[in-house]
A and B are shown apart, each in its own frame.
Chain A
Amino acid sequence: MLKPLIEPALRIDGLSYYGIVTTFTNPTHFNADDLAGFGDDFFANNKWYVFVVRDAGGASAAPDGELQPISDYTSSDGTFEHTAFTANLAVGDEVLILHESIASIIINTGVISNIFNLVNAILTLTETGGTLTTDGTVQNLYINETPAGVFDPKSIQIDFTAQTASETVVIRESYRIKSGGNYIEKDGAVTFTGVQSPKLKNITLEENRFGVKVTIEKTAGANIAYDWRVMYKI
């Protein structure tokens, strides 16, 4: 016979009881002979939970590790009525009958995991930037070619301090709105000719999932270095 997984001192401490399934009746009822005799309804009214601590086959098959509330208990033969597991119990499965004060730890672990997942999905306001020197071609100032998921570009700022009366540049803002789709220009190109006032230009960006870029193209004058920075939530 297999050695019980649970040390004797832990089996009956008033908050947890160890037993082995001796009869599987149906998806919501089983018997454990060694858990008989506590008095009818001792484990009842969802104040106690049955936790499957070991699959009889030793392969951790469902419902191994699952926890369900107990609604009724018959003392004479150790019959438990419980909410169904994702798979049926089997003769030989080892179970712990846990008081709600103990079971809540397991339940809360799942809740905490869900909260962690939600917190992890909160977007973070992030920034990057650099300096780009024009070369006469259409150049990416800022691009997120294939975002991992939905994100929220906020704005891009471009410093035109270095631009003189001789230069002309064209700024374009484009989005990809479906997976693998083409970049579609938004609101048309904006041309900046000569000395600019104010020197700092701000472009508001849109939420996006499939790709965004802001480009600069010098169409006249010398190659000039433009500082830029983008703020986005990701």
Chain B
Amino acid sequence: MTVGFDNLSINHQLLLALPFEEMTGTITHDNGKPHHILTLTGTPPTWGSLVTGQPYISFDGAADYLQCPAANSDDLRFSTGDFTLLAWLYNTGPVGTDTVMCQNTVDACGWEFDIDSTGKIALRTNQAGAHTEISAAAAFTSSAWQLVGVTRHATTGQVYVNGDPAITTGTLTDAVQCGVGANIFFVGVQNGAAANFWAGYMALLRVWERAPTALEMKEVFNVERHWFGV
């Protein structure tokens, strides 16, 4: 019996899916149709696997990150439409802002998914000289694997933790769309690759150009939780 990856409804409009299956080298490939190729950059990040065999990438919080060239990540230049970012995260203790992933220029264009300076899971969209943000009401739990997602739907957004909607505050204005081929897609560091590094681990990163339902988010959690002992 075969299940087709693209036939799974959860994978509709999936733009990026990083399973980190290579487990060696400095390149990781995308199961999404766009075939983004990300380079492990910095120290660089190291490969690891949980006792279940689930692969992850470890970031040192000081210099490690992944990047996809701007020319190959134009499909991630979200602006007026819905989009969703999801990852299994483990942070050893956020210090300041810890970036999960972004494609932006702060207060100019694009978006950023991070643990913000107050320790909350947040999604920011940038406008000219400004930004808007949604964030979870509760603080991010450090040193524990958890499935964390943020969706942007119209002017609202929703944070999900382990498949459940979290109390979310704030609103999101359309991001100014970054220029064609202008912004690198980063994982684990802020745009510019100089600050807000991720300290800890990440696994199974995904990006959709739609807002999955709460039921779909719960389904993803239920299907994958066994890999992470959650």
Residues from chain A with a CB closer than 8 A to the CB of B25 are 140, 143
Residues from chain B with a CB closer than 8 A to the CB of A233 are 2
Q: Whole-angstrom distance between the alpha carbons of A24 and B227 in the complex? A: 41
- Contacts A143-B24, A145-B22: A127 and B5 contacting too (C-beta < 8 A)? yes
Question: In this assembly, does B45 line the interface, its C-beta being within 8 Å of a C-beta of chain A?
Answer: no
Question: In this assembly, does B194 line the interface, its C-beta being within 8 Å of a C-beta of chain A?
Answer: no
Question: In this assembly, does A60 line the interface, its C-beta being within 8 Å of a C-beta of chain B?
Answer: no
Question: In this assembly, does B141 line the interface, its C-beta being within 8 Å of a C-beta of chain A?
Answer: no
User: Interface size for chain A: under 10, 10 to 19, 20 to 34, or 35 or more residues?
Assistant: 20 to 34
Does A124 contact B8, Cβ atoms closer than 8 Å? Answer: yes
Q: Whole-angstrom distance between the alpha carbons of A147 and B21 in the complex? A: 7
Kindly provide the distance from the CB of A216 to the nearest chain B CB, expressed in whole angstroms. Answer: 14
Kindly provide the distance from the CB of B62 to the nearest chain A CB, expressed in whole angstroms. Answer: 25
- Contacts A123-B2, A126-B5: A145 and B24 contacting too (C-beta < 8 A)? yes
Does A148 contact B2, Cβ atoms closer than 8 Å? Answer: no
Question: In this assembly, does A200 line the interface, its C-beta being within 8 Å of a C-beta of chain B?
Answer: no
> What residue of chain A has the Cβ atom nearest to residue B30's Cβ?
A128
- Contacts A126-B31, A129-B29, A140-B25: A148 and B3 contacting too (C-beta < 8 A)? no
Does A127 contact B31, Cβ atoms closer than 8 Å? Answer: yes
Q: Give the number of residues in B that approach A within 8 Å (Cβ atoms).
A: 28
Question: In this assembly, does B129 line the interface, its C-beta being within 8 Å of a C-beta of chain A?
Answer: no
Question: In this assembly, does B52 line the interface, its C-beta being within 8 Å of a C-beta of chain A?
Answer: yes
Does B55 contact A128, Cβ atoms closer than 8 Å? Answer: no
- Contacts A130-B35, A145-B22, A148-B54: A125 and B5 contacting too (C-beta < 8 A)? yes
Residues from chain B with a CB closer than 8 A to the CB of A149 are 53
Question: In this assembly, does A144 line the interface, its C-beta being within 8 Å of a C-beta of chain B?
Answer: yes
Ordered by A's residue number, 11 sampled pairs between the chains whose C-beta atoms are within 8 Å are A120-B223, A120-B226, A123-B2, A125-B4, A127-B5, A128-B29, A130-B29, A144-B21, A145-B21, A145-B22, A146-B55
Interface pairs A-B: 3 shortest CB-CB: A148-B53, A145-B23, A145-B24
Interface residues of B (CB under 8 A from A): 1-5, 8, 19, 21-25, 27, 29-31, 35, 37, 47, 49, 52-55, 222-223, 226-227
| Supplied contacts A130-B29, A146-B55, 20 more A-B pairs, CB within 8 Å | A122-B1, A123-B2, A124-B2, A125-B4, A125-B5, A126-B31, A128-B35, A129-B29, A129-B35, A131-B37, A140-B22, A140-B24, A145-B21, A147-B21, A147-B53, A148-B54, A149-B53, A229-B35, A233-B2, A234-B21
